[in-house]
Structure formats: structure tokens, C-alpha cells
Amino acid sequence: MAADVKMLFCVGLIVVLTGVGKSALIGKTHGSGGEDLVLQYVVNNSLREHPVLTKLRLRTLQDQWSIMMVSSDQAQFMANLIRLINATKAIEIGMYTGYNALSMALAMPENGRVVACEIQDSYINIAKPFFKEAGVQNKIDIQHQTAMKTLSKCLCISHSRRTHTKRRRTVVTTSCLDCDGKVVNPAPSDQTSQSLDALNKKLHKDQRIDLSMLTVGDGLTLAIKR
Ligand SMILES: C[S@@+](CC[C@H](N)C(=O)[O-])C[C@H]1O[C@@H](n2cnc3c(N)ncnc32)[C@H](O)[C@@H]1O
């Protein structure tokens, strides 16, 4: 990895573990957030969706689990983050049909790489033709295995190269508010919301990172390594 590599980790996995709520989606542009006039205004006046992303979004909406898809405004924000820190590597944990992976790959320079983890081959099969159509298939390294396996490999390499690295910006993004907002007051039996709540609280206290929690999409935590 080059000395000035900047990384973006995207942890979408938490959302799928949370399950899919019927209502009270937090401003998701392709969910009930579509009825939110302020959100519509934001979308109408800021969204610049690549034509292949539009096609992928429309294809994904035909899937019964499409509510899992990242919202377009959130993906655009993350692509802008990539541009801002000149990231050349991103790890997408839980690619689903690849909207966010594609959006990030489009924002990266030619030498950029998105490592996209996904366990379901049906989702990978949906994603691949769109990556090709957008001309970024070489920038997206699909890892068809559990994210844990891929991560341990990536983090191991990253660690072994640390001594050669002069400067590195690492931004970790995670979904911080589950689809149906249960994290606000998680039931004792709801392990997923409990875990998400515990993670949010742990990050809040962690002085090794700068932190922001945004209410975009499913909620987005930015943890920026100091
Ligand atoms: C909320 S969706 C991610 C949405 C996606 N980031 C997007 O751009 O639309 C979560 C995805 O994680 C995948 N997943 C679940 N467990 C996983 C695991 N252990 N390793 C890798 N992927 C996993 C699911 O199959 C699902 O496609």
C-alpha cells in the first residue's frame, strides 16, 4: 500500500443484522423517506446520480430486500468523502447489490480499489454487470465470503505495512441508527439494537478518533482515526 494511502471503511453490515422495519425509516430516499418533503428537497437539489447508479438503483428496487440499499444521498456523501481525503482504498462490508461500492469506485482515481464483501451470490450477480457497464469492474474487488475473513486479511496486511507508512487517513463509517430506530431505546431481548447501541456508546468515549453521527440514510457514524 502506498505511503499516502487514505482509507474508507464502510460498515453496512449492521443494517442487515437489524432486520427490516416496516415504518419510521430515517429519511431514506428510496423508502418512506420519499414522503419527507425536506428530504425530497435535498434530493431534488443535490443529487447527482451517475446514469449507471440510477439503473442499479431501479434494478435493486425490484428486490424484496431493497430497503437494505444505501440511500442515494448517503452514498453521494460517502463518495464526496472519498474525494475529500483522496482515498484510494475503501472496504465495503456488506455490498448487497453494490450501489455504494459502485458510487465509491466512480469517485476514486484509476489506482483506487474498493474491496467489497458480500456473502450472497445472488446479490453479487446483480451487481457485476453494472460495475462493468460503468467501466469500474477493475476497481472493485468482490470478496465472496464473510466480511470477517476478508477483514482479517486486509487488516493484517495493513498492520504489517504500518512501519513503512508515513501518513494515513482512515475514516470508518458505520450505520448507527437501524432502519426502524429501535436503537434509541433497545429492548433487552433485541441483541442487534443492543449491540449497535453499545458500539455507538463505545465510539463516543473513544479518544483515539474524531467522531460525527449523522442522521442521513440509516444513520452514519464517521470515526476518523487521529
Ligand atoms: C444493508 S446491506 C448493505 C447495503 C449496501 N452497502 C448498499 O450499497 O446498498 C447488508 C449486506 O450485508 C451482507 N452480509 C450479511 N452478513 C455478511 C457477512 N458476514 N459478510 C459479508 N456480507 C454480509 C448481506 O447479504 C447484505 O447484502
Q: Which residues pair with 46 in a beta bridge?
A: none
Across the chain, mean pLDDT equals: 83
Q: Would you say residue 96 has pLDDT above 90?
A: yes
With 0.75 as the threshold, say if the pTM is over it.
yes
Domains parsed from the chain with CATH numbers = 25-162 (3.40.50.150), 165-225 (no CATH)
- The CA 62 to ligand 1 mean position distance, Å, reads 17
The better pLDDT of the pair 164, 184 is held by 184
Q: Would you say residue 69 has pLDDT above 90?
A: yes
From 119, 106, 144, select the one nearest 17 (Cα to Cα): 119
Mutual angle of helices 72-84 and 37-46, in 10-degree steps:
50
Distance, CA of 62 to CA of 157 (rounded, Å): 38
- The CA 164 to ligand 1 mean position distance, Å, reads 32
Residues 9-58 pLDDT 10s: 666 543 322 222 223 334 566 765 557 888 888 888 999 999 999 999 99
Q: Who's near 206: CB < 8 A, 6+ residues apart?
A: 223
pLDDT interval class at 166 (50, 70, 90): low
Nearest CA to ligand 1 atom 19: 146
